[in-house]
Amino acid sequence: PTATRSPSPTAATPKPASSYAKPTKLCPAEEPMARKPAPPILESDLPETARDLVRLVGWAKAEALIRELGGIPFPVPKGADNNPAGAARYARLAEIVGHRGAERIVAEYGDDILHIPNCKTAIARARMRAMRARCDAGATLEEIALEFGCTTRWVSMVLKRPDDGSGAVLEMGGQMGLF
């Protein structure tokens, strides 16, 4: 048999969250870090569909579409006013890439399903190249890890991977690259 103790009436009760004082200003170490621009992605790293989107609407709008709808199949309508569902999809597309961009995508992929890539491999390769460039510029493993939000072990593993001579980091280094 276990005995349960009732709290003593003199026990301190926690204060409600609203009664705690909130700091007015963060110290420099606690301030949120400003988001740095993403490392440049090489067009050769992009999948074919992403390259087609860049050709149709330009890099900035293709990037916006990939960020917004990447990884999902998108049924491209036949036109702006084909039917209510198609009109809604066209409006969504035009919201992201503009009306000219939406018209170009509809002209190329109308009445088809556009598999919008998420470009994770291309983004990862760009991050690896950026890590290597920071190391070449004299940054320490710790500085690179903090900048990219990863561990020093991961940075070390990335830096040990061979490249193909043009600066592109190969996927698998060491003996695993033989298979």
Distance (Å, whole) CA 4 – CA 113: 63
Indicate the SS3 state at residue 155.
helix
Tokens 């009109």 sit at which residue?
A: 87
Angle at 39 between CA 155 and CA 122, to 5 degrees: 85
Report the amino acid identity of residue 11.
Answer: A
pLDDT in tens, the chain (179 residues): 555 555 555 545 444 444 444 444 444 444 444 456 667 788 888 999 999 999 999 999 998 999 899 999 999 998 888 889 999 999 999 999 999 999 999 999 999 999 999 999 888 888 898 999 999 999 999 999 999 999 999 999 999 987 665 545 555 555 555 55
* Main-chain phi, psi angles of 74, to 5 degrees: -115, 115
Q: Could you tell me the pTM of the whole model?
A: 0.61
**Both tokens assigned to 79:** 């036109």
